[in-house]
Each structure stands twice: as C-alpha cells, then as structure tokens.
Structure 1
Amino acid sequence: MSSLEQPKTSTRRLATVSLIFMAVGFVVSLPFKENAWVFWLQSGFEAGLVGGIADWFAITALFRHPLGLKIPHTNLLPKNRERVIESIVHMLETDLLNKESIVAKLQHMTLADRVIKILRSILVLPAFRATVTELLVGLIRKLPKEAILEFANTRVTETIKAYPSKRLAVRAMELNEERRLDEWLMDQLLGYGQRLLEDPVIRDQIGRLAYTAMIDQEKNTFLRVTARTVQKVYSEEKLSLVIQGVLLTVIQDMRHVHHPNRLAILDHLRRNLAQLSIDEERLAKIDAWKASEVDRFDFVPVIERAYDAGLIELERYLTSDAFWTERAMPMLSRALDDWEQHPTFKDSSDQWMKEQLVRFVEQNHQKIGGLVRENLNRFDTETLIHMIEDKVGSDLQWIRVNGALCGFIIGLILGAIKVFVG
C-alpha cells in the first residue's frame, strides 16, 4: 500500500466504523427506550446514524450509484463527465490563463531577480559544469577543419603579398634594435658550427677536403711547394686536428661580445639592414618576388600542424579545473552581477520577460485548454474517479465522520429537549 492510499483507506475505515458505531448504539438502545437517559442517547445514535447514512449516500452519489441502485440524481460525475471537463477547460482559458489574471499575478513579481537566483544556483552544480564542458568540446570538434585551413592559407598568402617590404625591413630593424636579434643569430650560428666541428665525422671530412685541395694545386708553384712541405709534416689525420683546433679557436674568439671580427660582422649586417629599408629598387624587387612566388608556397601543412596542436591544447584547457575556476565561473558570475546591478537593463529585461509570458499565454491558452481536454479524455471514467478519490478521498470520508458526529450531537440536543420539555 502506497503512502497516498494509506491515509485514504484509514479515513474510510474510520468513517465506516463511526457509522457502524451509531447503528449498533441505536439498535442496542431500542429495548430500553422507556428509560429517559437511554432515550436521550438513542436520539443521539439515531440522528448520528441518519447523518452518517445521508453523507455516505451524498458522497457515493457523486461517483456512482449507491448500492448499485439507479436512483435519480446519483452517479453525478460519470453522467456529467463532459460538462465537468469543459468547465475545467473553460475556467483554465477564461479565468486562470487570461491576460488580466496573469498581469495581476506578475505585477508584484520581479522575474529578473528570480531568474538570476536560479541561474546562480545552477552555476555551482557539477552537472552544469559537465554539460557546458561537453558542449564546448563538442563545438570545437565539429569545427569545419578543411574550410578553416583553406581560409587561413588564403589569408596568410594575401597578407604576405600585401605587406609592404619597406615596412617589413623597418620592422626587422626595430626588432633587431629592441631584442638584439643579430647577436642572437650569430650565437646560434657559432654554436651550430662548433657542434659540427666537434663531430669526428665532420672533422675528418674537413681534413680530407683540405688535403685533397693541396694535392690539386699543381699550377701554382708556391702553393705546390707549400702543400708538399705540409704533406711531409702532417698526415691527413693530423691535418684534420689542426684545422679543427684553428676553427674552434676562431669560434671561441667570436663568442666574445667585444671581439673585432664579431663587431665587424654585426656592423656589416646592421648597415645592410638599414640600407635595405631605404633602397627602393631592392624593396621593389622583393615585392615583385612576393607577388609572383608566394603562391607557390604551400602553407597548409604548417597551418594544419598548428591547428591540430592548438585544438588539442584548447580541449585540454576547456576540460581542466583552471578553465572553470579561473575563467568560466568568474565570467558567468560577473555577467549575472552586471545584470543584477545594471540600472536599467534589469528592469527592462524583467518587463520583457513579463510581456513575453503574457503574449505566449494569449497565443496559446486555447492550445493549453485543448491539451488539458485531450489529456482528460485519455482517461476512462473509472480512472478519473480513482484520481479524484485519491486526491480528495480523505476529505470526503471526513465528511462522513463529521456527519455522524454532528448528527449524534444534534440528536443529543434534540433528545434532551424532548426529555426535559416533553
């Protein structure tokens, strides 16, 4: 037995017991009606029995024929099923869901405050975070990759073509002055050259090339004599070590920031870069080269690698706690704060929501009534009766109990009047 059925059943049992109690009291008191006190109680039992039976009859007549007898004006709900349904629909359409009643109910409400409060409570729900994260990840996964790559490739190509070489040269000169790019580039080249020279294979290859070059100097008498002298003193292996040592020494010297050779090279690079920015002829050639040659470059593979890597990083960030706690939550909370504290937006949005709600009801209240009618017509009469009894059955049974008790009390009063007055 469900929790809804238990109170209804217990109340019905109480109503039945009260009726039986009145009937038993009346029957038992019949042989002793000559006694004034028993006669007085009999009057109470009699009136209580009549009141209980009358209320039982009235309540039963609402839903069915009492005792199965087709007494007129009983079985009221099944007989008037359509009228009851139409009355409910009419009340819904004309009284509960009309513009005037809704406006009257809404005029003392601030929908914006309620919506903001609801949204604030939703923000802290784990399910909301999971839903938003899944939505964002799903959106970035459904991005049209091919279209994006094609668009990016076109934009990169057009940007390179349209970007003036003079501005590029000036910007390169400015960046070089700000970040010392020429010095960084020289250090990178020196480091790369040192790593090559320290490689035994490269070292031996350099010695072999130098040794071969000396052997080939047959036309120059001085070089030929020098080469033969070196060949007598150094083997190919020793020559490789000597050349490696010399070149490594040069590289180490060039690493010093004040070395004359280093300063000379850097000065040469800077002067050429500065000259390039004002050399219109060379700049025009660079622009012409860009216009004709840039289209031959395929930037798609580079862009695709950057796109895939960026997508992975973005997805990782969207699913991290940092995104939700440092970005999403503060942003959403700040948006709600701005909405709540804005001097006019809150009032205008509240008015807009009320207008939309009223307009929706005006446009659809007949549909709502039709939906209610359709849903009620889906149930047969017995189901409707069961639903009504399930909701108000306890109160109806209390009417029987109260009828019996009230009848008993009134009977006692009337019996007392008969005893003491008659």
Structure 2
Amino acid sequence: MQQQLKPKSSTRRLATVSLIFMAVGFIASLPFKENNWVFWLQSGFEAGLVGGIADWFAITALFRHPLGLKIPHTNLLPKNRERVIESIVQMLEKDLLNKESIVEKLRHMTLADRFIKLLRSIVLLPAFRSTVTELLTGILHKLPKEAILKVVDDRISDTVKAYPSKRLAERLMGLNEERRLDELAIDQLLGYGQRLLEDPVIRDQIGRLAYHAMIDQEKNTFLRVTAKTVQKVYSEERLSLVIQSVLLSVIEDMKQVHHPNRLAILDHVRRNLAQLTQDEERLAKIDQWKAAEVDRFDMQPVLNRAYTAGIEELKTYLASDSFWENRALPLMNQALNEWDQHPTFKQESDRWMKDQLVRFVDQNHQKIGGLVRENLNRFDTETLIHMIEDKVGNDLQWIRVNGAICGFFIGLILGGIKLFIG
C-alpha cells in the first residue's frame, strides 16, 4: 500500500511546488515590473499562478468544497452521488456491456471447439485426477449397501430357482462331452482313494474292520469255515497289507483308459445323465430340492464379505495409474475425439451452448447493473472519493502541473505581445 501511495504523493507534491513556484516568481517580480524583461517574466508567472489555482479549484471542486467554502457548483461528486452511480450503471448496461452486442458476439463464436480444447487440457491436470478420484470414492461410500445386497441376494435366489433343472442337466451333459468331466471325476476319486490307502493309519483301520467282520461271520454256517481258515493264516496286520495291495491293484487297473471296469462305469454315468434329461419326475424333485436349499441358505454373510472386499479393491483401482492411463484417460479422449469428429452432434451441442448462454445473458443482463449499483451503494461518499482519487488522482495532479506550466508559457506569450504593442 505504501509503495502505491508514493508516486501519488510525489505527484501531488510536484503540483503544489509548481503552484508555489509560480506564486513566488510573481511576488518576487513585482518590485521590478518597470524592467521589460522582468515584466515579461512576471506575465508568465502570473498566468501560471492563475492556471494552477484554476486547475486546483476545478479538481478540488469535483470532490469537496475548496478551502471548506460552500461555493456554488462545488463538491460535485457527493452532491450528485446517485446520478453518478446511475450514470455508471447505464454506461455498463447500454454501452460497455450491451446485451445485443454480447449476444451477437456469442453467435459468431464456435463454443464447441473451445470447450473441447478446454476439456482436453483439464483432463491432464493432476488436480482433475485427484478430484475425480475423490468424487468416485465418495460415491462408493454413499452407495446403499444393504439395498444392494438385498437386490443381489434376491436376484441370485430367483435366478437359481427359475433356472430349469432340465436345462441344467442338458448343460451338464454338454460340458461332460466337451471336457470329459466324468473321466476327470473318476481320476480324482481314484487318486483320492489311492492316497487314503497309502496312509498307514487308514490301511490298519481297514484291516481291523475286515478282521472283526470275519469274526462276526462265524455265526453264518456257510462262511464259518472260510472265516476260521483266514484267521489261522492271516493276522490283523498281515490282512491289512493284503487288502491294501488288492485295492491298490484295482485302482491302478481302473486308471487305465481302456480298462473294462472303467469303461463300464463311464457308460453307466453317461446313460444315467442322458436319461435324467428326459425324466420329468426326477427333474421336478431336483427343482423342489433346489428351491428349498436356496431358501435355507443364508447368502448375506458371503455377499457382505464379497461387497466389502470388492469396494476396497475398486477404490484402490480407481486411484491407480493403471486405471487412469489404461481406462479413464483413453475413454475420455475417445469421447472427446468422437465429439470433435461428429459434425452433427458437434453442431447441435454448439447451438445448445449458445442458446444457454444467450438465455443466461437475457435473464441476467439487468442484474449486472443492479450488482454494480448494489456494490457502489455499499460504500459511503468518503470511501468512493478515496477510491476515485486512488485510481485517477495521479492524472488529476498532473492536470494542475500542466495548468501551471501551460499558463506560464501562455503568460510569456501574452506578455511579449504587450511589450511589442506597447
């Protein structure tokens, strides 16, 4: 503030010094007015003094009474405050910000091109990325979780219930033909059985069960002799090893792709699966079982965990460089390119933006003057005077300086004329 006031104070000082200089020169030349050269200079000082005083009076009269004297037609700005404000408002509304000129200017502008260019620069700003990320994250937090989970739960239940078991069986049969699911299932079961039999604990348990089963069969007359014979030959431990060896041998045989037992089992599975697609009674029972199980199963805990994990993963993804570089920015640029290269849409959007701006100007043009009037009326007269002097006071003081200097030279000219004629 002090730096701004220094040149204005120096200009005011210069104007005062110029006036004092003219006054001193005029007074000092009075005793020597008989001398032609002094008389000639006195004329310049006199005219400069008059010009300086006249300009000081005129400038001062704009803002206040000169020397506090209530001379008519002085203190012009305070007296005509309302008229001045209204003149400023009228000048803005009718001349500087004329509604028709604004509308005409808008109609000759290509707003769509400028808007597309602006958007291309905005999407690259880090602030835009952080703002959009924060906005998307906020939307995720405000999603109605309970309502979403209920809708998903209901949709899953309805979908499972409505899906026909016949179509499910047909789909299963088709997948089985494409991917050999039955063979994969048999191999998995055989592998699992082999691992169980190779476990010493399971092996001993099987032998123990078989040994006690033979003891129980002694009550059966037909098996009594066989059971006693086996008990004499095999101990419980040895019987376990024999049974293990036999079962492992059977499993190894079943692993062979062309083994008859394996082919028989696969054929049985496939025929039953094909028959299932035509057995309406069994399909109806499957539908009933499916509906009952769906109603019995509580999916809320599963869906709740999946929802929470999904939201966290989505938040991380939205803030990642991968999302912005591979998804968001390419998608935005593609949309802007399509807008820019689509002549019809571009023309229509340009027309729409112009119509909106024209409508806005039409609806709010009068508010510009009202806003200016309201802001000016907020200041008291002294503040307005200070603001004007702060902005144009420099130039006004130079008027005083110029008035004194011009008056001085004009006085010299007039004095020379008097001497020449006299």
Q: Indicate the TM-score class for this superposition, using the shorter chain for normalisation.
A: 0.7 to 0.9
Contact map agreement 1:97 1:361 (CA 8 A) in 2: no
Cα deviation, residue 247, structure 1: 4.5
Q: Supply the AA of the counterpart residue of 1:301.
A: P
Residue 86 of structure 1: aligned partner: 86
| 1:155 counterpart residue number | 155
- Alignment partner, residue 65 of structure 1: 65
For 2:241 and 2:76, the matched residues in 1 are separated by 119
Q: Which amino acid aligns with 1:131?
A: T
Q: For structure 1, which segment, 401-410 or 73-82, has the greater mean C-alpha deviation from structure 2 after superposition? A: 401-410
Alignment-derived partner of residue 374 in structure 1: 374
**Which residue pairs with 1:273 in the alignment?**
273
Contact between 2:218 and 2:227, CA under 8 Å: does it hold in 1?
Answer: no
Mapping for residues 303-322 of structure 1, pairs under 5 Å: 303-322=303-322
CA contact (8 A) 2:218 2:228 kept: no
User: Which residue identity is paired with 2:283?
Assistant: L
| Structure 1 contact 161–287 (Cα < 8 Å) conserved | yes
Write the distance in 2 (CA, Å) between the matches of 1:98 and 1:361.
10
Counterpart-to-counterpart distance in 2, 1:117 and 1:269: 67
| 3-state SS of paired residue (2:182) | helix
Which residue in 1 is equivalent to 2:112? 112
Over 3 Å counting, the alpha-carbon distance change for 1:52 and 1:269 in structure 2 is farther
Deviations 1:97-130 (A, max 9, x none): 5642321221332222222222222212211111
1:225-274 Cα distance to aligned partner (Å, 9 max, x none): 55555555555455545545554555555555555544443443333323
Q: Deviations over 1:388-408 (max 9, x none)?
A: 223333333333333334334
The residue aligned with 1:145 is 145
1:305 Cα deviation from its structure 2 partner: 2.6
Q: Which moved more, 1:217-226 or 1:319-328?
A: 217-226
2:348 paired with 1:348? yes
Q: Kindly tell me: are residues 30 and 231 of structure 1, through their superposed partners in 2, closer, same or farther at Cα, counting changes over 3 Å?
A: farther
Taking structure 1 as reference, are residues 421 and 316 closer, same or farther at Cα in structure 2, changes over 3 Å only? same
1:107 and 1:135 map into 2 onto residues whose CA distance is 35
The alpha carbon displacement at 1:297 in A equals: 2.9
Whether the aligned pair in 2 keeps the contact of 1:33 and 1:39 (CA below 8 Å) is: yes
Deviation per CA, 1:27-75: give whole Å up to 9, x if none: 4555555555555444444433333333332222222222323222222
Question: What residue identity is the alignment partner of 1:49?
Answer: L
Aligned pairs for 1:9-408 within 5 A: 9-30=9-30, 33=33, 36-95=36-95, 99-197=99-197, 199=199, 201-221=201-221, 223-231=223-231, 235-237=235-237, 239-240=239-240, 242-244=242-244, 246-248=246-248, 250-251=250-251, 254-255=254-255, 257=257, 260-291=260-291, 293-408=293-408
Whole-angstrom distance in 1 between the partners of 2:415 and 2:242: 142
Tell which deviates more after alignment, 34-43 or 276-285: 34-43
| AA in 2 matched with 1:343 | P
Alpha-carbon deviation of 1:135?
Answer: 0.7
Identity of aligned residues (%): 81
CA distance in 2, matches of 1:270, 1:263: 10
Q: How many residues align?
A: 422
Alpha carbons 1:99, 1:358 under 8 Å: kept: no
Note if contact 1:93-1:365 (Cα within 8 Å) is conserved in structure 2.
yes
State the distance in 1 between where 2:217 and 2:186 align: 33
More deviation, 324-333/11-20: 11-20
Contact 2:339 2:346 in 1 (8 A): yes
- TM-score with structure 2 setting the length: 0.85
Tell me the distance in 2 between the aligned counterparts of 1:230 and 1:28. 157
More divergent stretch after superposition (87-96 vs 330-339):
87-96
Amino acid in the other structure paired with 2:61: A
Structure 1 stretches of 5 or more lacking a match? none
State the SS of the aligned residue for 1:72: coil
CA distance in 1, matches of 2:201, 2:147: 48
TM-score (norm 1): 0.85
Output the CA distance in 1 between the equivalents of 2:57 and 2:413.
24
Residues 113 and 34 of structure 1, relative CA distance in 2, 3 Å threshold: farther
Q: Secondary structure of the equivalent of 2:119?
A: helix
Residue type of the alignment partner of 1:169: A
Query: Structure 1 85/341 Cα, relative in aligned 2: closer, same or farther at 3 Å?
Result: same
**Distance of 1:115 and 1:308 partners within structure 2:** 39
